[in-house]
Amino acid sequence: MKESPEPLSFYRHLGMPVAFSGRGYPMTVTQTEEYLLIGDTHPKTVAQIEEQLDGLPGLEQSPRLFYSLSLFSKRRPLGPTARPVMVIVAEHGTLMTPQGATTTVNRPRSLLSRIGFGDGRPKDVRICAYHTGTYHNLGMHELPEEDERVLHFMAGFLSKAWPHATPIDYSQADTRAFPDGDANWAKAL
């Protein structure tokens, strides 16, 4: 059994979020011994970016994506041609249960958020993972309330989606957050 999954092919998953395509705070980069983790807020899908390159923004139907975490393996060269080995995404979803349906809704907003500062934060989201040509639905989960915990929460699904993958070791991890998606991460790495 392989220890690390193969890098993903973008054009086989047109609905997959692309790393570095998110907007707003936080854009998070974490380096561990094995992986480089890129966390995006409101990422764009491959189809949406293709559409923008064609000069047609905003017409493509796509799922509502809240957060994505792209894992790049450090065993392969990192650079502009690097592809993630796994992408974990928190998206809008619905779970049908005998008690009724649970659909993604926003958390109750704070006073500042209610008068226009900050965004609404989703509460229950569907967690999905893309790796080695497959797309896993990992079920509905409640997102943590703090931004700082979202990255660790999503990285926790690595072992669920790919039990044989090398686990993320946070003991030597170097995490940085960037206030915008303007590629400032590249200067800092």
Interface with another protein by CB under 8 A: which range of 7-15, 24-32, 85-93, 155-163?
7-15
3-state SS assignment for residue 100: strand
Look at residues 55, 49, 57, 59 and name the one whose alpha carbon lies nearest to residue 16: 49
Residue 12 or residue 64: which is nearer to another protein going by CB?
12
- Is 61 a binder of another protein (CB under 8 A)? no
Considering only residues 14 to 33 of the shown chain, the ones binding another protein according to CB under 8 A are 18-21
Considering only residues 79 to 118 of the shown chain, the ones binding another protein according to CB under 8 A are 80-83
Distances (CA, A) of 33 to 53, 68, 176: 35, 21, 15
- Is 147 a binder of another protein (CB under 8 A)? no
Q: What is the full DSSP assignment across 105-147?
A: -BPPPPHHHHTTSS---BSEEEEEEEETTEEEEEEEEEPPSSH
Residue 27 or residue 125: which is nearer to another protein going by CB?
27
Question: What is the smallest separation between the CB atom of 188 and another protein, expressed in angstroms?
Answer: 16
Burial class of residue 176, CB neighbours in 10 A (0-12, 13-18, 19+): middle
d(CA 13, CA 78): 21
Binds another protein by CB under 8 A, chosen from 78, 105, 183, 189: 183
Question: What is the smallest separation between the CB atom of 7 and another protein, expressed in angstroms?
Answer: 7
Residue 12 or residue 114: which is nearer to another protein going by CB?
12
